Amino acid sequence: MDSNSKKAIRNIEDEDYIPNLSYDSVIFGFNGEQLKILILEYHNTGLFALPGGFVKRHESLDDAVKRGVLERTGLDKIYFEQFHTFGSLTRSDSDVMKRILLGNSFDLDTNKWMLDRFISVAYYALINYDKVTLKPDLLSDSINWYAIDELPPLMMDHEKMVDKALNVLRNNIEKKLVGMNLLPSKFTMKQLQQVYEAILGENLRRTTFQRRILGMNILERHEKLYQGKAHKAPYLYSFK
Amino acid sequence: MDSNSKKAIRNIEDEDYIPNLSYDSVIFGFNGEQLKILILEYHNTGLFALPGGFVKRHESLDDAVKRGVLERTGLDKIYFEQFHTFGSLTRSDSDVMKRILLGNSFDLDTNKWMLDRFISVAYYALINYDKVTLKPDLLSDSINWYAIDELPPLMMDHEKMVDKALNVLRNNIEKKLVGMNLLPSKFTMKQLQQVYEAILGENLRRTTFQRRILGMNILERHEKLYQGKAHKAPYLYSFK
DNA sequence: TTTTATTGTAACAAAATGAGACAATAAGAT
DNA sequence: ATCTTATTGTCTCATTTTGTTACAATAAAA
């Protein structure tokens, strides 16, 4: 409890954080065609991972995640929701953590708390693809969008997390109007349908979809969008 | 990290557990009429709470919960599922924990780790009401069934946990065949409907319910159940 | 044998969804 | 200007699902 008086420059101080607890985030965006998520790559390791982090002693779990998303995307008003806490004994891998620490020239001894077992609370977030300014964190080289069916191999149990996040998203799409957070404030019916299709992973019938969504009475119709294409222009909609 | 060499008899050793992490469980049972949950009362405090506990360093989160349910109900094959992790700054209340420790004649100093902030992973469990042998834990006087609409005031954020558990249960009832875990292996259609009604908190139409459930093709029909009543005897069913 | 309460299922109505069809465009091609 | 093309908004009719009512088939009591 009272060790670590000398602090290297590149260190994360364990005293500030709740031990053995982390979060990971599956951050979804939609580029108009595909559903994508943010994946980062740790320095000098070839390891790909979900953006994650630790919870400060004087910070709520939700705030820790908000902070992490803000730091990496520049967005501070996002939709996010916890979906599962991963607590198996086998999920933590101290060898992987060693590689990450060494790849960042972190001192193994000072940072040995990071080699310990971690229980991780996983969140998904839905953000506006176009408004993001990506910024790698201290430990990583890059952070980038990857289409959900073209992900690199992810470390530890992060692929399981993505799978579960997608499942939860699919179940929530009807109940929680998930689409609204992945689109700009005004959008066409086609765009909305594409979000639904990307999430559900299946094609939907255009006429039925349109009728069903309009029947929900959740959309407001605005002006038409002239795209310069040789066909009828679609209306723009926003959520009420 | 190396204190606590002297151990009082009535102590929970902090070194065995992951710090700042706990679980709480909303354990549902169905008595044939009402949906009930298990609530315990801490010694000499008048405090009512959900059964909870800590996670050992060498134990998965799920196993910790299984252990807790087993110790209190005697059941080891139960259906349970995590539904939310509560991590706000305000949820932990050291005054409440002090009352509990003092009510149990625990030493405040040796057990001060329990006064710290805790992030709690909440689970719900569905168990067979009739097969339970209730047993209070070390810290509590009693553990008892309470109908969900007749709960005593619960400490800290435990009422929020119950609300959320019920919501999740309502959403899962269609997808996960929740009913099967609250009933004996053979049951009548009426019993199944009563479970649904208790969970959803609304009355269902008998004929529609029967047709819909039978249409799912998940039930196997067995012999009739003669209840000694002056009317047609219902069939018994089990899940396939 | 009649009465009573409940069960299983059928029958029809109403609502939701599936599947096409088609007229109404924007803008490019002629 | 007119014709062509791709897409949109809406309508129609078929199919499926759900709501509602009705009714015959019991177990056991009266």
Taking the CA of residue A164 and the nearest CA in chain B, the distance in Å comes to: 13
Query: Distance between CA atoms of B77 and B55, rounded to whole angstroms?
Result: 19
Residue B24 covered by a domain: yes
Share above pLDDT 70 across residues of chain B, in percent, rounded to a whole number = 93
Q: How far apart are CA A122 and CA A52, in angstroms?
A: 9
Q: Is residue B231 part of a domain?
A: yes
Does residue A3 register a pLDDT over 70?
no
**Shortest CB distance from B85 goes to which of A20, A82, A175?**
A82
As a whole number, mean pLDDT of residues B157-175 equals: 94
Looking at residue A178, what is its pLDDT? 73
pLDDT at B80 > cutoff 60: yes
Tell me the pLDDT band of A139, cut-offs 50, 70 and 90: confident
The encoded tokens of residue B239 equal: 């899940």
From the number of C-beta atoms within 10 Å of its C-beta (0-12, 13-18, 19+), residue A95 rates as exposed
Distance of CA B238 to CAs A28, A139, B68, Å? 41, 54, 29
Shared domain for A24 and A137, answered yes or no, is yes
Q: What distance in Å separates residue B232's CA from the closest CA in chain A? A: 41
Of A179, A195, A219, the position where a domain reaches its end is: A179
Q: What share of chain A is helix, strand, coil (3-state, %, to 5)?
A: 30, 30, 40
Domain count, chain B: 2
Stretch A85-107: mean pLDDT, rounded? 94
Question: pLDDT band for position A2 (50/70/90)?
Answer: very low
- So what's the pLDDT on residue A13? 58
pLDDT of A6 > 80? The answer is: no
pLDDT tens digit string along A163-195?
Answer: 999 999 998 998 877 767 899 999 999 999 999
Q: Give the pLDDT band of residue B12 (cuts 50, 70, 90).
A: low
Cα B49 from Cα B122, distance rounded (Å): 13
Chain A segment 143-182 residues within 8 A of B by beta carbon are 171, 175
B82: containing domain: 14-179
Considering chain A, what is the average pLDDT of its residues?
Answer: 91
Verify if strand D has an atom below 7 Å from the CB of B232: yes
Q: Indicate if the alpha-carbon torsion angle B193, B196, B198, B202 is positive or negative.
A: negative
Helix (H, G, I), strand (E, B) or coil at A220: strand
Q: State chain B's mean pLDDT as an integer.
A: 91
What's the rounded mean pLDDT across residues A4-21? 64
Measure in Å the smallest separation between the Cα of A1 and chain B Cα atoms.
6
Per the domain annotation, does A105 fall within a domain?
yes
pLDDT in tens, A211-235: 999 999 999 999 999 999 999 999 9
pLDDT at B35 over 90: yes
Nucleotides on strand D lying under 7 Å from protein C-beta? 4-12, 18-22, 25-29
| Distance of alpha carbon B232 from alpha carbon A160, whole angstroms | 51
Which region holds residue B218: left if phi is over 0, alpha if psi is between -120 and 50, else beta?
A: alpha
Distance CA A181, CA A126 (A): 6
Q: What is the per-residue pLDDT across B183-229, written as a single tens digit (0 to 9) for each?
A: 999 999 999 999 999 999 999 999 999 999 999 999 999 999 999 99
Alpha-carbon gap, residue B27 to B83, rounded angstroms: 12
Q: Which residues in chain B, range 176-215, keep a C-beta under 7 Å from any nucleic strand D atom?
A: 205, 207-208, 211-212, 215
Q: Are residues B65 and B169 both part of a single domain?
A: yes
User: Which residue out of B60, B83, B88, B124 would a mutagenesis test of the A interface target, given it has the greatest number of A Cβ atoms within 10 Å?
Assistant: B60
Question: Does residue A42 sit in the same domain as residue A132?
Answer: yes
Q: Whole-angstrom Cα distance, residue B175 to residue B172?
A: 5
Q: What is the mean pLDDT of residues A77-106?
A: 95
Measured between beta carbons, which residues in chain A are less than 8 angstroms from residue B1? Answer: 1
- Check if the beta carbon of residue A238 is closer than 8 Å to that of residue A183: no
| pLDDT score, position A68 | 96
Q: What is the pLDDT of residue B4?
A: 38
Q: CATH code at B235?
A: 1.10.10.10
Measured distance CA(A102)–CA(B38) in Å, rounded? 49
Cα B84 to Cα B89: distance, rounded to the nearest angstrom = 16
What's the CA gap between B28 and B31, in Å, rounded? 10
Backbone angles phi, psi at B108, to 5 degrees: -65, -35
**Residue A200, pLDDT above cutoff 50:** yes
pLDDT of residue B1: 37
Residue B228 CB in 7 A reach of strand D: yes
A82 and chain B in contact, CB less than 8 A: yes
Helix or strand or coil: residue A236?
Answer: strand
Residue B3: inside a domain: no
Residue A77 shares a structural domain with residue A171: yes
Q: Does B1 touch chain A (CB under 8 A)?
A: yes
Residues of B in contact with A171 (CB under 8 A): 175
Instruction: Judge if B93 and B29 occupy the same domain.
Output: yes
Question: Separation of CA B169 and C1' D23 in angstroms?
Answer: 36
B167 within 8 A of B96, measured Cβ to Cβ: no
Residue B217 CB in 7 A reach of strand D:
no
Q: Is the pLDDT of residue A126 over 90?
A: yes
Q: How confident is the model at residue B21 (pLDDT cuts 50, 70, 90)?
A: very high
Each residue's pLDDT tens digit, B90-131 = 999 999 999 999 999 899 998 999 999 999 999 999 999 999
Give B231 to chain A, closest Cα distance, Å. Answer: 42
Nucleic strand D within 7 A of Cβ B230: yes
Residue A2 in domain: no
Least confident of A27-41, A44-58, B2-16: B2-16
B44 plus B85 within the same structural domain: yes
pLDDT band at A48 (very low <50, low <70, confident <90, very high): very high
pLDDT at site A5: 37
User: Does residue A90 lie within 7 Å of nucleic acid chain C, judged by its CB?
Assistant: no
Same-domain status, B157 and B233: no
- Token pair listed for B58: 């060498």
Of B35, B198, B61, which Cα lies nearest the Cα of B123? B61
A199 and A170, same structural domain? Answer: no
Please state the φ and ψ torsions of residue A11, each to the nearest 5 degrees: -140, 155
CATH assignment of the domain containing B134: 3.90.79.10
Assess whether A222 (CB) lies less than 7 A from strand D. Answer: no
pLDDT of residue A9: 45
Residue in B189, B191, B190 with CA at minimum distance from that of residue B221: B189
